[in-house]
Each structure stands twice: as structure tokens, then as C-alpha cells.
């Protein structure tokens, strides 16, 4: 019973944190709540301490305002990326593109297609089925055909993406990967993939200009919390020299590749792409 509850909670946790995050980082929703709380505290406190409570409330509102602004989002994001080595342009066994939805994803998928055209790798692993469909269309439009193009299905967390990559690539002896994701997410992704035994060439895709400061702050704070969580769970530590092959074998036994990935041909047949 406990294992069932734990599994259900783990499955819903990413979606729940996104919902809570977007609520907290919506000034139109949070500011009235803070004002009501401060007002109630002032009304119920003794007159002599009201000024102290008023100052504390104003400080809280000011701190929230700073957190929503570039004064917080820019340095918080820059600090995350400062620990990641630059992409030196070298080739690799495969290109792995981590998933983002909507406009936050930026131009990462076109970047991956460009890398295939440049000959940096003949293999592509795309996290997410809709994203895989878009990439396959772009490849066809440019008459590009990588040796291996797979789309991972049902991945929701960075851990799942890394484990899926281990199954798809590690079992084939493909250990050196170009990892593409956005600025806030790269540090945690880079450390997670390295922890499984991959040799990683990180390629940071900047967030689009249209992403607001409050969204950048949300992404950064999620990553700081994720770094603490993943470090505490030991997901950054490489336990043995054969970690990648061991993970590939274990994951393949738990979840057959047929249900975890779709090939380019399967995507064409499913979505009737010519």
C-alpha cells in the first residue's frame, strides 16, 4: 500500500509543483493574498507592535516584488549556468534533446537538426512524442536522415529522461552525447546524465526573449530545489564504472523499449507523415 501511494505521489509531484509554482509566481493572485494576511495581522495585533508588523509586511511585499523582477531572475539563472562548461563544438555518439513545452522550449529542436546537418552526430534522441513528430518533419524538410532517430514516450522528469537515454543509447554502446536543454535546467541535467555514466557535451539553448522575468525566476528556483533534492538522493554520484550499462539493463527489464520509444518509421506510420 505504501509503495502504491509513493508511486502515485511521485507520478503527480512534477505536475503539482508546476501548478503551485505558477500560482506563487502570479502577482495578480499572490499580492492580494499577502495584503489580506498583513491586514488581518495588523488588526489582531496589539497597537504597540502594529508598526513592526507593518514594516515586516512591507518588507515581505518588497521581497516578493524583487523575486518577480530581473534583479533576481538574471543573477539566479546566470549562477546556474556558470558551473557548466561551454559547448566546444566536438562530435558525439548521439544528440539528446530534453523536453520543454510551449514557448519556453525556444529553438532547441532546430538546433538539434542543425547539428545533424553539420555532422556532429548521426543519431538523435528526442524526449517527448509531440516534440519527436516536429523534429522528424524538420528532418524530412531538409532531406536529413540520421542513423537512429528515437522519440522517448512518457518521460516527465530529468531522472526519467536520463534513464531513457541510458536504455536507448547505453545499451548500444553510445556513451558520448551532446545534451541540449535551456539555461536554468542544464546544470541539473548535465550532472544527472554524468551520474549515469554518460560523457556529456552540454549545449545550452537560451530561453526566448519573450519569457517574462517571473517565469525565469520560477524556472531558476525549481532548479535550485531540484539540485538539492537530486544531490540528497545521490543522483549526481557515479557509483560504479559500469553504471550506464547496468541502468540500461535494469530499465530495459522493467519497461520494454517497445513501449518506451518510437522510431522515425513508427512516428510516420502513426501520424501518417509522408
Per-domain residue ranges for the chain?
2-79, 86-271
Distances from the Cα of 174 to the Cαs of 10, 124, 166, 200, in angstroms? 29, 11, 9, 11
Judged on CB neighbours under 10 Å (0-12, 13-18, 19+), 201 is: buried
- Answer left, alpha or beta for residue 196, where phi above 0 means left and psi between -120 and 50 means alpha: alpha
HSE-up of residue 93 (Cα within 13 Å, Cβ side): 15
**Cell reading at 90:** 566536438
Chain length of the chain: 274
pLDDT of residue 166: 92
How far apart, in whole angstroms, are the C-alpha atoms of residue 151 and residue 262? 5
Residue 9 has a pLDDT of 45
DSSP assignments along 84-108, one per residue: SPPP-----SEEEE----GGGGTTH
Q: What is the pLDDT along the chain (274 residues), one digit of tens a residue?
A: 554 554 444 555 566 665 665 566 566 776 777 667 667 666 666 665 566 766 777 787 788 889 889 999 999 999 999 999 999 999 999 999 999 888 889 999 999 999 999 999 999 999 999 999 999 999 999 999 888 899 999 888 999 999 999 999 988 889 999 999 999 999 999 999 999 999 999 999 999 999 999 899 989 999 999 999 999 999 998 766 667 877 777 776 665 555 689 999 999 999 988 6
Phi, psi dihedral angles at 197 (to 5 degrees): 110, 5
Q: Nearest-5° angle of CA 154, CA 213, CA 101?
A: 15
CB burial of 20-41 (b: ≥16 within 10 Å; e: otherwise) equals ebeebbeeeeeeeeeeeebeee
End-to-end CA distance of the chain: 48
pTM: 0.84
CA torsion through residues 116, 123, 132, 210, sign:
negative
153 contacts 129 by C-beta, under 8 angstroms: yes
Other C-beta atoms within 10 Å of 233: how many?
A: 10
DSSP β-ladder status, 261-263 and 148-152: antiparallel
Q: What is the DSSP letter of 208?
A: P
CATH code of 86-271, in short, is: 3.40.50
Q: How far apart are CA 112 and CA 177, in angstroms?
A: 12
Tell me how crowded residue 239 is: count the other CB atoms within 10 A of its CB: 11
Q: Which residues contact 111 (CB under 8 A, 6 or more apart)?
A: 180, 203, 205
- Listed in order, strand segments (DSSP E) in the chain are 94-97, 123-127, 148-152, 176-182, 199-205, 261-263
Amino acid at each position: 500500500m505504501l509503495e502504491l501511494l509513493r508511486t502515485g505521489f511521485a507520478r503527480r509531484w512534477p505536475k503539482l509543483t508546476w501548478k503551485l509554482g505558477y500560482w506563487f509566481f502570479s502577482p495578480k493572485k499572490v499580492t492580494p493574498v499577502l495584503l489580506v494576511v498583513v491586514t488581518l495581522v495588523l488588526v489582531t495585533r496589539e497597537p504597540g507592535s502594529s508598526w513592526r508588523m507593518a514594516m515586516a509586511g512591507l518588507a515581505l511585499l518588497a521581497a516578493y516584488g524583487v523575486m518577480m523582477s530581473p534583479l533576481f531572475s538574471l543573477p539566479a539563472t546566470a549562477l546556474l549556468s556558470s558551473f557548466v562548461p561551454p559547448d566546444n563544438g566536438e562530435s558525439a555518439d548521439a544528440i539528446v534533446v530534453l523536453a520543454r513545452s510551449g514557448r519556453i522550449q525556444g529553438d532547441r529542436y532546430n538546433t538539434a537538426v542543425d547539428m545533424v546537418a553539420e555532422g556532429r552526430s548521426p543519431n538523435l534522441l528526442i524526449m517527448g512524442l509531440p516534440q519527436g513528430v516536429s523534429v522528424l518533419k524538420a528532418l524530412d524538410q531538409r532531406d536529413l536522415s540520421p542513423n537512429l532517430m528515437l522519440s522517448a514516450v512518457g518521460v516527465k522528469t530529468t531522472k526519467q529522461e536520463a534513464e531513457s537515454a541510458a536504455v536507448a543509447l547505453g545499451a548500444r554502446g553510445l556513451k558520448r552525447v551532446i545534451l541540449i536543454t535551456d539555461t536554468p535546467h542544464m546544470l541539473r541535467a548535465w550532472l544527472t546524465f554524468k551520474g549515469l555514466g554518460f560523457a556529456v557535451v552540454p549545449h545550452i539553448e537560451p530561453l526566448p526573449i519573450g519569457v517574462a522575468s517571473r517565469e525565469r525566476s520560477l524556472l531558476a528556483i525549481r532548479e535550485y530545489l531540484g539540485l538539492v533534492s537530486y544531490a540528497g538522493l545521490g543522483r549526481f554520484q557515479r557509483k560504479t564504472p559500469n553504471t550506464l550499462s547496468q541502468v540500461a539493463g535494469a530499465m530495459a527489464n522493467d519497461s520494454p523499449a517497445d513501449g518506451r520509444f518510437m522510431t522515425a518509421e513508427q512516428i510516420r506510420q502513426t501520424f501518417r507523415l509522408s
